[in-house]
Amino acid sequence: MHLSPAMQKVLNEQVTLELEASLVYLQLSIQLDDLDLPGMTRWMRAQSEEEQVHAAKFTQHCLDRGFTPQIGDIAAPKVSGSQPIDYFKAALAHEEKVSESIRNLYRTAQSEADLDVLPLLHWFIDEQVEEESSISEIIGRLERVGTDGAGVLRIDSELGSRHPDITADGE
């Protein structure tokens, strides 16, 4: 039930990456707040909190298996852009990075014959498909409305109605 050194390494990296994702979303929320888009700001803050829950899920799995992860170095997120679509594209790019990392975790689990981590990884694979799809849909809608202020404000309003949909145990 203990984790191999290879699994310890990639899981430790994943904990750090999930916390980095939380900071990326927090920075994106700040950028959107500066644009006076409270709905998009709220959506990004909820994403930031969700990423912290994801880090906690990986951390707990490690602890349950006798390994104490250590948070690695996290650089301050660099976000560029001036329009909401720029920030959602940055979010998608980061989610794609997280997705690839989880696929790498899965490949490592297969090579290490670590069956115990697979249920957790399956949950995260499903979660990443959902995350990328959700953000892609928002980007598509923002592309359709372009610079139409009323359209952007409508999307902002809809995104602001989001309720946190994940609990501390990830359900």
Annotated binding residues, as ranges?
Answer: 18, 51, 54, 95, 128
Residues comprising the binding site for Fe cation? Answer: 18, 51, 54, 95, 128
Between CA 167 and CA 49 the distance in angstroms is 10
Choose among 63, 50, 69, 74: nearest CA to 10.
69
Q: What is the DSSP letter of 83?
A: S
Between CA 79 and CA 81 the distance in angstroms is 7
- Under 8 Å between Cβ of 74 and 16: yes
